[in-house]
Amino acid sequence: MSSATMFGLIEGAGHVAWLLGATFAAGFFASCLFSTEPKVLSEKAGLSQRPVDLDDLTGALSRGAFLDRLELQMRMIRDAESRNQAPPELTLLLIDVDRFKQLNDGFGHSTGDDVLVELVKQAQTRPGWQIGRLGGDEFAVLVAGHDHRELGNNVAAYCADLRDALHRRKGILAFSGVTVGAASAPMNASFADELLKLTDLALYQGKKENRGGLTFFNPEMREEYGRARQVARDLKAAVLLDEFQLHYQPIVSREGELASFEALLRWKHPLSGMIPPDQFIPIAEQSGIIDRLGAWVLRRACEDLKSGVIETVAVNISGAQFRHGELPDQILKILREEGVKADKFILEITETALISATPFVLEQIKALRQLGFRIALDDFGTGNNSFNMFRSIPVDIVKIDKSYSQGMATDPIAQVFVTAVCQVCKTLGICVVMEGVETEEQHSLALLAGADRIQGYLIGKPAALRDIPSRRRSFGTLNSRI
C-alpha cells in the first residue's frame, strides 16, 4: 500500500490516530486531528506552537479549536476529491443532553457540570473521538469513517457507559440520556458549515422521534426542515390574519350530565385547508409562537364563555408556555380584560410536560391554582410515572390518555391500570376523566373502572361553538348530532 492511499488505524503509545490522506504530511496531519492528545501531536507536527485551546470545565476542545479542525479536515477531503483520490471519510456527531435545562434548574449547576464533564470524559476514552464544546450544553465529535452500523454500535456503547458512570458511580439518577445527530463527509457535505447544518437537522429530527438514540441525516430531513420553517412563517401570519378557530368537545359525568368542554385549536390554512394541532403545535413551541397562540386561545375562550353556550372550559397549556415564568400574570391579565373569572377554567397540562416540571414550573402551577384555576393532568399514562406524581404536583383532574380507552377491551393490564388510577384519585379527591371513549363497550368499561367523567366521540366530537346546541343537560342521546 503506498502512502498515497494509506488508510488505517494505528495505535501508538497513549493515543490512537487515523492516518489519512494523500501524502505523508497530510496523513500525519490527519493523525493530529483524530488524536486524543491534540496538544502534544500538533506540537510534534510543528503545525502550531500554541497550546490547543481547551474548554476550562470539561477539557473538550474549545468551539474555535474544534471548528478549525473540522474546517481543516473538510479541506483535506476536498483536496483529495479534486485530485481524484479516495477522500478520507469522517462523521460529525452532535450530542445533546436530554432535559439538560431541567437537570440544571432542578438539581443545581454543579450536577449539570458533573454531567458535562462525564460526557466529555467518556467521549475522550473512545478511540479516535475528538470532542469539542460548541456552546453551553452543545457538544460535537469528529470521528473517522461513515459506516452506520459501526458508528451505531460505537455511539450505543458510549451512551451506555455514560449512563452507567452517571447513574451508578455518581448517583445522578435524574440524567435521562443524550440524543445524537450524525452526518458524514464527503457523503452528505463537502464544506464544514454545510456538514454542521445537516448534523443539526439530524439532531433536530432525533429530538422529535428518537430521544436517547443516534439519528443519521437523510435528505428527506431537508424537506421536513424547509416545511417546518414555512409553517413557522405561516403561523406568525395566521395569528394576525385570524385563521384560527376553537372547537369544543363535551365532557360528561357518569350519568351523562354535561360537566365542561375542552377547547381544541383548529387552523384553517388558506391553501392547505384544516391543519390538525398535532402538526403545528410542536412547531409553534419550537419557534416561540406558542405564547401568542396560547393568549389567542384564552381570549377566544373568554369570549365564547360570555356567549353562555358553554359554562366551564378546559384549555390546553403547552409546557413551553411556562418557560418565561410570566404565564400566571399573562393569563390573569387576559381574564381581567375580558371580565371572566378563573373558576370558569380548567388548565390542561400534559403528563410529559409535568414530568420535567422544575420547581420554577411548579411555582407557576401553584400560583395559577391559588388564583382559582383548576389544573388537569392531561394524557396520563403516556409517560413513565408513578402515582406519587399526584402528591408532588397539585392537580384537580387526571385525564387518562385515550390509548387506554382503546386498550381496555382487550388488555387486562390497561384495565388494572385505569382502575388503580381511579382508586388512588378517589382517595386523594382528584376527578378522573376517561378520554377517547368511542364505543358503548369502552364507555361501560370506563364506568366499571371508576372514571368520574367521560370524553370521546361517543359523547360528542369537537365542534364549532355555533354547532353546539345550547341549553342541553344530557349528552347521552346527542352523540350523532355533535
- Positions touching ligand C2E (CB under 6 A) are 249, 264-265, 276-278, 281, 297, 316, 318, 348, 378-379, 402, 436-438, 456-457, 462
Residue 378 binds Ca ion, judged by CB under 5 A: yes
For ligand C2E, the closer of residues 437 and 445 by Cβ is: 437
Least separation in angstroms between residue 105's CB and ligand C2E is 21
For ligand C2E, the closer of residues 98 and 438 by Cβ is: 438
Of 164, 182, 172, 177, nearest to 211 (Cα)?
A: 177
For ligand C2E, the closer of residues 27 and 462 by Cβ is: 462
Task: State the Cα–Cα distance between residues 95 and 92, nearest whole angstrom.
Answer: 10
| Residue 37 near which of Ca ion, ligand C2E, none (CB within 5-8 Å, type-dependent) | none
Q: Kindly state the helix (H) or strand (E) to which residue 463 belongs, with its residue range.
A: strand 463-464
| Residue 438 near which of ligand C2E, Ca ion, none (CB within 5-8 Å, type-dependent) | ligand C2E
| Residue 305 near which of ligand C2E, Ca ion, none (CB within 5-8 Å, type-dependent) | none
Helix axes 290-306, 220-241, angle to 10 degrees: 40
Q: What is the dihedral of CA 418, 461, 228, 138, to 10 degrees?
A: -20
**At which residue does the C-alpha cell 439538560 appear?**
100
What is the DSSP code string of 394-417?
A: --SEEEE-HHHHHHHTT-HHHHHH
| Residue 278 near which of Ca ion, ligand C2E, none (CB within 5-8 Å, type-dependent) | ligand C2E
Least separation in angstroms between residue 32's CB and ligand C2E is 50
Residue 137 binds Ca ion, judged by CB under 5 A: no
| Residue 87 near which of Ca ion, ligand C2E, none (CB within 5-8 Å, type-dependent) | none
The grid coordinates of residue 130 equal: 475528538
Least separation in angstroms between residue 238's CB and ligand C2E is 13
| Residue 297 near which of ligand C2E, Ca ion, none (CB within 5-8 Å, type-dependent) | ligand C2E
| Residue 137 near which of ligand C2E, Ca ion, none (CB within 5-8 Å, type-dependent) | none
Least separation in angstroms between residue 353's CB and Ca ion is 11
Q: Could you tell me which stretch among 120-128, 185-193, 292-300, 435-443 binds Ca ion (CB under 5 A)?
A: 435-443
Helices (H) and strands (E) in the chain, counts: 17, 17
Residue 348 binds Ca ion, judged by CB under 5 A: yes
Least separation in angstroms between residue 380's CB and Ca ion is 8
Q: Could you tell me which stretch among 107-115, 133-141, 209-217, 316-324 binds Ca ion (CB under 5 A)?
A: 316-324
Least separation in angstroms between residue 379's CB and Ca ion is 4
Least separation in angstroms between residue 287's CB and ligand C2E is 14
Least separation in angstroms between residue 157's CB and Ca ion is 38
Q: 10 Å Cβ neighbour count for 276?
A: 11
Q: What is the dihedral of CA 290, 296, 301, 307, to 10 degrees?
A: -170
* Amino acid identity for residue 217 in this structure: F
Residue 114 binds Ca ion, judged by CB under 5 A: no
Query: Is the distance from CB of 481 to CB of 459 less than 8 angstroms?
Result: no
Least separation in angstroms between residue 211's CB and ligand C2E is 18
- Start-to-end Cα distance in the chain: 76
Task: Using alpha carbons, list the distances in angstroms from residue 183 to 13, 147, 172, 227, 452.
Answer: 30, 11, 30, 20, 50
What is the DSSP code string of 288-340?
A: TTHHHHHHHHHHHHHHHHHTSS-S-EEEEE-GGGGTTS-HHHHHHHHHHHHT-
* Amino acid identity for residue 473 in this structure: R
For ligand C2E, the closer of residues 41 and 297 by Cβ is: 297
- When binding is defined by CB under 5 A, the residue of 379, 414, 430, 453 that contacts Ca ion is 379
